[in-house]
Amino acid sequence: MLNRVALAILGSLVTWASPATAAEEPVDVELVIAVDVSWSMDFGELDIQRNGYVAAFRSPELQQAIADGMHGRVAVTYVEWAGDTSQSVVLPWTLIDGKDAAEAFAYRLSEARPDRMRRTSISSAIDFAANLFDGNGFEGMRRVIDVSGDGPNNQGRPVTQARDAAVARGITVNGLPLMTQGEDAGGGWGSIRDLDRYYADCVIGGPGAFMIPVNGWTQFPEAVRRKLVLELAGLWPLKRRESAVVSAAVDSETANCLIGETQWQERWQR
């Protein structure tokens, strides 16, 4: 009698655990697209940014990159972020397994209006994005956070701590520094001239991590498409011809990873 009861309990535990395991869809990549919507960008620039991602998912090159993967499918979620408590999931985890799914994702993204929020906390964006992988229903061969932004971290914990914590969980953090507000170009408060160096030294990390700097909004659509193709196809770091572009800041002197926090402190001490 005791053995029969024990077997019944064991059977119920197995039955309870099985759906969670079966629900994990195998994919080539789990990708969090984390996009800066801080007040340093106006609504026109936010539209350029959003439309760049929409165009990327509609591009035949990106759709082919997904199809050429081992599984031929990826999981993507789109997040907007600003300060340490300002993160918003615009599109939840979505399976993209072909042209129709990619077009549908692009359409849904085009219909959602971007919002502006205060401050810049890259560290909180990385922490928020890293937690989105847990229980998302997918099991990827790679987990990637794609962070874009136009300034350094100035709120929340140091960005290197968040980056290192994500890397310790097996997550790769890639970057898309938007060098559209540089000091030498008349940029606003909170901008830095060598944002590409900052991203290279302080933001990106993990296996094959890379960044592609954007020096003007006209470059943005092509940069986004190119970067997503590399991430979703898993081509880095195999294409050596990419290294000179995606690692442009590596040969420069080491960046100050607390420069954003220093700028904020100095501003309020004046």
| Structure-derived torsion over alpha carbons of residues 68, 173, 124, 137, reported in degrees to the nearest 10 | 40
Query: Mapping DSSP to helix (H, G, I), strand (E, B) and coil, where does residue 5 land?
Result: helix
Task: Convert the pLDDT of each residue in 21-46 to its tens digit.
Answer: 456 899 999 999 999 998 877 788 88
Interval 104-117 mean pLDDT: 86
pLDDT average, residue stretch 175-204: 77
Q: Taking Cα atoms as reference points, which of 118, 169, 104 lies closest to residue 143? A: 169
Read off the pTM.
0.83
* Cα(126)–Cα(87) distance, integer angstroms: 10
pLDDT per position as a tens digit, 212-231? 999 888 989 999 999 999 99
We find that the CATH architecture of domain 24-269 is 3-Layer(aba) Sandwich (3.40)
Q: Are 156 and 165 in contact (CB under 8 A)?
A: no
Q: How many other C-beta atoms lie within 10 A of the C-beta of residue 165?
A: 16
